[in-house]
Amino acid sequence: MVQKNRVILLHGLHHAPFIMRPLAKRLQAAGFETYRYGYRSMRDGIQTNSERLNKWLEQNHNPDQPIDLVGHSLGGLIIRDFVTQYPNWQIGRCVTLGTPHMGSICADYIWRLSPAIVGLSYIDALDGTVAPLPKHITLGVIAGSRPYGLGQLFLRYHNRKLRQKDSPLLDEYLVHDGTVYLKETKLDAATDHLILPVSHTGMLIDSKVAKQTLYFLQHGQFQRQ
């Protein structure tokens, strides 16, 4: 039997490792060893969190064994920074869930109103200035299209502003998962991109998201009928 890579899961802003437990359990059922890595999403910036992930791996992981990385929202941006700053690790495949690769309009609003709510996660991360994805990284992006979440208040307001413009907009410019716009999840350097009818936090307990994450880790692409 072919040995599967160890999967490191990273949570998003304002969350903790336990939020990744349902997804981790489903990956474990498929034979993957998982670890839910925790970090300080507000008190530390993206580069500090990447550095600490690197140190944790140095202390707890055999560098000869490849790792897969799965990140939700801000966790996906830390993955991007990590694989850029620490190319010494053997990276198998990466999956991001609801990650605003192009920056977050919702975070922009919050940053202007009360910077403390997003903390240091905004700078070099949610502001859309993460380093480009290295060419050798195989990345699958899952985006949600169900607009449920605390961020929908800001995004509804933003959508009204967009509709007031003279030029008509395609629906994809208005679609979001309650926190992140669909258009913000798109990254040209990604290997594959998939849209599922899930909300920003709801995707973490959704069986279809888990199934597609698993499929990408196994095959390097999402499953399509």
Q: Kindly report the CATH number assigned to the domain that includes residue 29.
A: 3.40.50.1820
Q: What is the mean pLDDT of residues 51-69?
A: 97
Instruction: Report yes or no on 169 lying in a domain.
Output: yes
Say if residue 117 is exposed, middle or buried (CB neighbours under 10 Å; 0-12, 13-18, 19+).
middle
Q: What is the mean pLDDT of residues 94-107?
A: 93
**Position 65 pLDDT exceeds 70:** yes
Gap between the Cα atoms of 29 and 163, Å rounded = 45
Instruction: Report yes or no on 224 lying in a domain.
Output: no
Q: What is the pLDDT of residues 10-46, one digit of tens each?
A: 999 999 999 999 999 999 999 999 999 999 998 999 9
Q: What is the mean pLDDT of residues 41-61?
A: 96
| pTM: predicted TM-score of the whole model, two decimal places | 0.91
Q: What is the mean pLDDT of residues 143-169?
A: 68
Instruction: Report yes or no on 92 lying in a domain.
Output: yes
- At residue 176, the pLDDT reads 83
CA 135 to chain centre: 18
At a CB cut-off of 8 Å and minimum separation 6, what does 173 contact? 162, 181, 183
Instruction: Report yes or no on 80 lying in a domain.
Output: yes
Query: Which structural domain range is residue 180 located in?
Result: 6-219
**Position 169 pLDDT exceeds 50:** no
**Position 206 pLDDT exceeds 80:** yes
Instruction: Report yes or no on 31 lying in a domain.
Output: yes
Gap between the Cα atoms of 216 and 137, Å rounded = 13
Gap between the Cα atoms of 52 and 38, Å rounded = 10
Compute the mean pLDDT over every residue in the chain, rounded to the nearest whole number: 90
- When comparing pLDDT for 210 and 112, which is higher? 210
Instruction: Report yes or no on 1 lying in a domain.
Output: no
Instruction: Report yes or no on 142 lying in a domain.
Output: yes
- At residue 54, the pLDDT reads 98
Residue 112, number of CB atoms within 10 A of its CB: 8
How many folded domains does the chain comprise?
A: 1
Instruction: Report yes or no on 133 lying in a domain.
Output: yes
